Amino acid sequence: MFSLRCLAAAALLLPLLPFLPQAQEAPPAPVEPAPATAAIKNLVIVTIDTVRADRLGCYGYFRDTSPRLDRLAAESLRFTRCVTPIAQTTPSHTSIFTGVGPLEHGVTSNHARRSKQDREELGLHTTATLRSLAESMKARGFATGGFVAATPVKKFTGLAAGFDAWTEPGETRRTGREVVKDALAFLDEKGSVPFFAWLHLFDAHEPLVPPYVPQQFGTRYAKEAAQSEWLAARGFPEQTADFKAHDRDVAGSNNLYDGALRFLDTNLGALLDRLDAEPFRSTTALVVVADHGTSMGQHGHVAHGLVWQEQLAVPLLIRVPGKAPAVVDTPLSTLDLWPTLNGLAPGLLESDWLGQCRGGDVLSPDHVERPLFALSGRNSTLASVLAGRFKLLREERGDVHLFDLDADPHEQHDLAAEKSAVVTQLRRLLDEEVARQKKANALHKRGAKEGEVDPKLLEELRELGYTGAEAGEEEDDDGGR
């Protein structure tokens, strides 16, 4: 039976039906739960900062940047069309760990350089209606450990809420090797106690030079014909102003990035080795996801924080004991991560907490594709919406561009002028989503001030399509809220 959320999503897409692609083959049916599902008692998530999906071997890249992740992908569900709702580290992680969009949780940009007072105000503030996954797991008796690599996810951001064990760099950043070492010590200490662990690896983030990326990795890749073809197909220029200022051309900078990816992949190896061995192999669900991608010169941009597809498209791998590996082509957001995992490992996550998540189980037979929204940390005007094959990109000053991602996956041919009806519908969806997230944020803040869960508040959230089990609503099959 369809959930209220599924029906709402379908209603939003009805005006676009003349412009959406014809029905495709149904996504692969979810694997039937294996008896081992009941034994899954641990959860590990690794967030790999600033990793473009298309730069990993398991996503078709021509270089050997990710042999360990490729091996993991062969044992996992690999999602080919996952996007982040915002391409900045602090807010994207906040969305991952709350299951809601940036304007709803209120963390809309990195804020490490602000004053101490501003940092406290701009960080994540959980409430009775908006909790973090770690808080939920801790309340259920899980041991919780967070091990992060860089300033944008340090304790001051609010992301440490719910974690008992926590380590972070004393300075700006540290290597993935150090993060993994701390996490392995946590696993050894907990033994048979059910645990939730988060590891954050920052090795692929600029600067991509020593001491952050060792020289042997930075010089691993050189210019070659295959690289030139790959960059040209995606519209990379030969030079950008920022790279020129660092005496680097685009190809050279992308070689450094590939080396940094290989460094990250190598650092992750020790964790994957441990999780491949018992007792963890048969008892631990493992998620690897990037918080966002990066342009590295594409579309004339060097870094991230905008809404081009190369900044939004992220790798997502989920390995659950007893589940067969598969490739999943269904479009989804990182907001769909936890409801989807809940469908694969029922009972691992708290049903009340899943009720706050804005996504759904994309493997459920009842799943209905919905528009996928993304915002920039600059302001809510700079945003995008993807519905079916079409993506609308709205600039800060309000100008819009339209791309057919099926025919033009690298966003090089603007169709806005010739498909005005699609533009109108997508602009409406985008405006409605921005308003919906802002209203939900105001309701969460009101609940925090009142200090308790107000039934009227929960009803208002439900009217936005944003509640679940906590509002007394029976949990539906796809976990989709």
pLDDT tens sequence for the chain (481 residues) = 334 344 344 444 444 533 443 333 333 443 333 333 558 999 999 999 999 999 999 999 999 999 999 999 999 999 999 999 999 999 999 999 999 999 999 998 887 777 776 677 778 988 888 999 999 999 999 999 999 999 999 999 999 999 999 999 999 999 999 999 999 999 999 878 999 999 999 999 999 989 999 999 999 999 999 999 999 999 998 887 767 666 678 999 999 999 999 999 999 999 999 999 999 999 999 999 999 999 999 998 888 999 999 999 999 999 999 999 999 999 999 999 999 999 999 999 999 999 999 999 999 999 999 999 999 977 778 999 999 999 999 998 889 999 999 999 999 999 999 999 999 999 999 999 999 999 998 888 765 554 554 455 445 445 444 333 222 222 222 222 2
Is the omega angle on the peptide bond into residue 211 within 30 degrees of 0, that is, cis? Answer: yes
**Measured between alpha carbons, how far is residue 149 from residues 295, 324, 407 in Å?**
22, 32, 38
**Measured between alpha carbons, how far is residue 474 from residues 99, 360, 464, 468 in Å?**
19, 15, 17, 7
Residues 359, 304: contact at Cβ < 8 Å? no
Residues 334, 84: contact at Cβ < 8 Å? yes
Alpha-carbon torsion 106, 109, 110, 116, what sign? negative
pLDDT computed for residue 247 by the predictor: 61
Cα separation of 324 and 315, whole Å?
18
CATH number assigned to the domain with residue range 38-367, chosen from the 4 options 1.20.120.50, 3.40.720.10, 3.40.50.1580, 2.60.40.10: 3.40.720.10
Cα separation of 276 and 272, whole Å?
6
pLDDT computed for residue 382 by the predictor: 93
Cα separation of 326 and 338, whole Å?
18
Strand 400-404's sheet: what is its strand order? 372-375, 383-387, 390-394, 400-404
Name the DSSP class of 359.
-
Helix (H, G, I), strand (E, B) or coil at 181: helix
User: How many other CB atoms are found less than 10 A from the CB of residue 117?
Assistant: 8
Cα separation of 335 and 357, whole Å?
7
pLDDT computed for residue 459 by the predictor: 56
Is the omega angle on the peptide bond into residue 279 within 30 degrees of 0, that is, cis? Answer: yes
**Residue 139 belongs to what H/E stretch?**
helix 133-139
Task: Give, in degrees to the nearest 5, the angle at Cα 149 between 146 and 153.
Answer: 70
Helix (H, G, I), strand (E, B) or coil at 331: coil
Residues 105, 94: contact at Cβ < 8 Å? yes
Name the DSSP class of 86.
B
**What long-range pairs does 345-348 form, CB within 8 A, spacing at least 24?**
345/37, 345/40, 345/285, 345/320, 346/33, 346/37, 347/38, 348/40, 348/41, 348/43, 348/285
Token pair 């070492």 is at which residue? 181
Name the DSSP class of 218.
H
pLDDT computed for residue 244 by the predictor: 65
Burial class of residue 113 in the structure, from the number of CB atoms within 10 Å of its CB (0-12 exposed, 13-18 middle, 19+ buried) = exposed
Is the omega angle on the peptide bond into residue 207 within 30 degrees of 0, that is, cis? Answer: yes
Domain chopping of the chain, boundaries: 38-367
User: How many other CB atoms are found less than 10 A from the CB of residue 101?
Assistant: 28
**Residue 458 belongs to what H/E stretch?**
helix 455-463
Question: Which alpha helices (DSSP H) does 210-329 contain, by range?
Answer: 215-218, 225-233, 241-245, 250-276, 309-312
Task: Give, in degrees to the nearest 5, the angle at Cα 152 between 101 and 187.
Answer: 95
Question: What is the token pair recorded at 472?
Answer: 């007394």
Write the DSSP assignment of 6-70 as a string of letters: HHHHHHHHGGGTTTSPPP-PPPPPPPPPPGGGGG--EEEEEEETT--GGGSGGGT-SS-S-HHHH
Cα separation of 10 and 29, whole Å?
20
Cα separation of 481 and 478, whole Å?
9
pLDDT computed for residue 397 by the predictor: 87
Cα separation of 445 and 343, whole Å?
30
